[in-house]
Amino acid sequence: MKRTPKRLDHPAISYFIGLMVILIMLTVLGGMIYHFAFSSQGPGLLMPLVNKYNEKHTSTILKSAQLHQESEIHEHFHQFVDYQEAPEALRPVCYICHSNLPHSKNKQIRAMLNIHTEFFMCETCHLKNEAGIPIEYKWYNPLEATPQGPFFGTAYDPGTGELSMVDDHISRIAPYFRKGAALESTLHMQNAPLARDYLEVRDRLTPEQRASVTKKFHININPKGPECHTCHSSKSILDFKKLGFSPKRTTDIEHLNIVGLITKYNEFYLPDLFKQQENNRTEDQGRP
């Protein structure tokens, strides 16, 4: 029995045409798959899968930063809303480089420190008063010479028992130098010459230059803040009555159970914190 041999001598052109047909079919097929699976104009059958894949591959750094921020906002004792802000030029210089959540180093207390930026200027805790000038604390609002309040967190709403709602979210307690009859501000705003200068040139500075400017902004700034009981005790440096706090709110702030609060976050022995601060302070002195 003799099999008819397969014909192998097609002209080259027919291979070429065959190849083109296959390519066209593949292109059409590909287009159809794309349309049904992924295209924004089609039903997007496979989009959920794609999204899942992307989710897994976003930057872990970005994600952990997001998580960190979310948890800080979560640990916040008040609802965190986007408060109105003072116009840029009238904001404190600190906010050029720091945020409303400036504390990050000490996990046990950072969230609790950060809530204080809602009602304090940084200087209330960080002012370095080497000359020992008497200090007086007052509500400060860049838009009003003598803000009247009611101020944030100073009283409870008798109906709900929660802190009263207020309209003024710009005013914050700030330290003033008492000089005779006059009060002198200790604050520096972004419209101050050094800040304006810095904002103009910062992109052109070398890291060294930047560090030296940073130092200038920190001249009167204490790297650490006061201990909690400087304010949370009956010997508070703040005159709560004069600052407009209601008697009930004052009692609660003065008798806040700090140690209880902190140990709730972690096994944490309070005096250790301040021993650690002392150590840091000695290290700081060794820095250039």
Q: Which residue is nearest to ligand HEC (CB)?
A: 153
145-164: which residues touch ligand HEC (CB under 6 A)? Answer: 152-154
Contact predicate 139/166, CB 8 Å: no
160: left (phi > 0), else alpha (psi -120 to 50), else beta? alpha
**192 Cβ contact partners less than 8 Å away, ≥ 6 residues apart:** 93
If one counts every other C-beta atom within 10 angstroms of the C-beta of residue 92, the result is 21
The nearest distance, CB 239 to ligand HEC, in angstroms, is: 11
Is residue 16 at the binding interface for ligand HEC, with CB under 6 A as the rule? no
Identify whether 87 is preceded by a cis peptide bond (ω within 30 of 0): no
Nearest to 171 by CA among 218, 224, 124: 124
Provide, rounded to whole angstroms, the least separation between the CB of residue 30 and ligand HEC: 52
The reply on whether position 86 binds ligand HEC by CB under 6 A is no
The residues near 44 (Cβ < 8 Å, ≥ 6 apart) are: 37, 38
Distance of CA 161 to the CA centre of its chain: 28
Distance in Å, CB of 23 to ligand HEC, minimum: 59
Which two three-digit tokens encode residue 111?
A: 């969230």
Of residues 97, 133, 201, 205, which one binds ligand HEC by CB under 6 A?
Answer: 97
Among 47, 192, 221, 259, binds ligand HEC (CB under 6 A): 221
- Tell me how far apart the alpha carbons of residues 222 and 219 are, in angstroms, rounded to a whole number: 8
Q: How far is the CB of 136 from ligand HEC (least distance, A)?
A: 13
CB nearer to ligand HEC: give 35 or 169.
169
Query: How many whole angstroms separate alpha carbon 171 and alpha carbon 139?
Result: 6
Q: Does 139 bind ligand HEC (CB under 6 A)?
A: no
Binding mask 161-200 for ligand HEC (x = CB under 6 A): ---------------------------x---------x--
Nearer CB in complex with ligand HEC: 133/205: 205
Give the binding site for ligand HEC (CB under 6 A). 77, 92-94, 96-98, 102-106, 109-110, 112-113, 115-117, 119-120, 122, 124-126, 152-154, 188, 198, 213-214, 217-218, 221, 223-226, 228, 230-232, 238, 252-253, 256, 258, 261, 277, 284
